[in-house]
Amino acid sequence: MTSGSPALAHVRGRVDRALQTFASQQSGVLLAAGEALRPGAESIAGLLASGKRLRPAFCYWGWRGAGGPDCPEIINAAAALELLHAGALVHDDLMDASDTRRGQPSVHRQFEARHAARRWHGSAGVFGMGMAILLGDLLICWTDEMFHASGLPGEALRRGRPVLDRMRTEVFAGQYLDLLGQATGDESVAGALRVVEFKTTKYTIERPLHLGAALASALADPAAAGGTAGSGVESRDGGMAGAGASLAAAYTAYGLPLGVAFQLRDDILGVFGDPAQTGKPAGDDIREGKRTVLLAIARARATAGQAQVIDRYLGDPLLDEAGTEEIRAAITATGAVEECERMIGRHVGEAIAALDGAPMSGEAREALAELAVTATARDG
């Protein structure tokens, strides 16, 4: 999904290094509390060592598009989003009872195994759960720490802060809707798209772009530093006013269709993806009974026989290779995959077109157009 992308390559290595530096500093703080914290610090460092860095890339290019210069401070601030993401993933894997993440055992499984191997007291599962909750909490808290220690001027941070706040409330609200939808058995395409809007579109694309733009707005308008810029509502919803508003609107117009395309690609990979690429076992989404747009479309289009196959395997924790092949064939036969591919193409086109005429540099426009294709490519 991310190989050979200049727009991503421009950010990724520097984000990796910023995270490594931050993780190593935080490891020092943890070990000062006790050597016993080393496995926790190592687990976090391992988790932060990989990742596509899409959210930092959107934040960075959102900043560049708003006239911000290439500098280490924006890389630090953008990298902070990966801490939030890593924390959310640790908690997500726990909620989904996922065994793997980025090709490694998930954090709760790591500590469960540690407990079991040492024959400690109590339940290994409860211990793994507790550790995953705590380490996820730490990562989520560290988002703010890295953001505020990024080195960006105070006025930039002050303007970016409400966007970061909104982004976090939205992503957890989206997860809440997702969990609730699974419980109530909501199988509508509309319900699935609502979850996508909050869990993916806003969180992965729109808010990172807005964050970059809000941070840069302080530089573009230094006279406002220290002033009471913007109304509360505008500030909360994008951190921008005046000239910046049309850029923020362009980012939204780019982010909304791209988020849907991104999620559709994720849905397809979750069912058809190669474990070597996804870092997850084949058919994991089916085994978890994940309520995706792909499946909602497949259900809506399915014949009685296809629906029977889908219902038989969806959410079956013991799904084997033969069953995976059977449900894959049924989903493909409904035409849902083709329809999703068409939707992806159309949405990516819409995203790129939304950048036309937006008040931004040519370099940022090209980078975002390229990122739209990269983030939704088949070779994920």
Query: How far is Cα 210 from Cα 252, in angstroms, rounded to an integer?
Result: 8
Stretch that binds its own copies, among 7-15, 74-82, 158-166, 364-372 (CB under 8 A): 158-166
**Using CB under 8 A as the criterion, what x/- string covers residues 224-243 for binding its own copies?**
--x-----------------
Which member of 61, 198, 254, 313 binds its own copies (CB under 8 A)?
198
- Measured from the Cβ of residue 154, the count of other Cβ atoms closer than 10 Å reads 11
Q: By CB under 8 A, tell whether 94 contacts its own copies.
A: yes
What's the token pair of residue 76? 């630090």
User: Which residues in the 138-157 window bind its own copies by CB under 8 A?
Assistant: 138, 140-142, 144-145, 148-149, 154-155
Nearest residue to 62 (alpha-carbon basis) of 217, 278, 211: 211
Residues 6+ apart with CB under 8 A from 24: 45
Q: By CB under 8 A, tell whether 303 contacts its own copies.
A: no
Nearest residue to 47 (alpha-carbon basis) of 165, 116, 126, 132: 132
Cβ contacts of 33-42, under 8 Å, gap ≥ 24: 39/110, 39/111, 39/114, 40/131, 40/134, 40/135, 40/138
Query: How far is Cα 269 from Cα 275, in angstroms, rounded to an integer?
Result: 9
Q: At closest approach, how far in Å is the CB of 339 from its own copies?
A: 26
Q: By CB under 8 A, tell whether 192 contacts its own copies.
A: no
Which member of 117, 183, 318, 322 binds its own copies (CB under 8 A)?
183
**C-alpha radius of gyration, the chain, whole number:** 21
**Using CB under 8 A as the criterion, what x/- string covers residues 282-301 for binding its own copies?**
-------x------------
Q: By CB under 8 A, tell whether 137 contacts its own copies.
A: yes
Tell me the residue type at 154.
Answer: G
Stretch that binds its own copies, among 1-9, 175-183, 266-274, 359-367 (CB under 8 A): 175-183
Q: At closest approach, how far in Å is the CB of 152 from its own copies?
A: 12
Q: By CB under 8 A, tell whether 312 contacts its own copies.
A: no
Binding site for its own copies (CB under 8 A): 26, 29-30, 33-34, 36-37, 40, 87-88, 91, 94-95, 97, 115, 118, 120-122, 126-127, 129-131, 133-138, 140-142, 144-145, 148-149, 154-155, 158, 161-162, 165-166, 168-170, 172-177, 179-180, 182-185, 194, 198, 226, 289
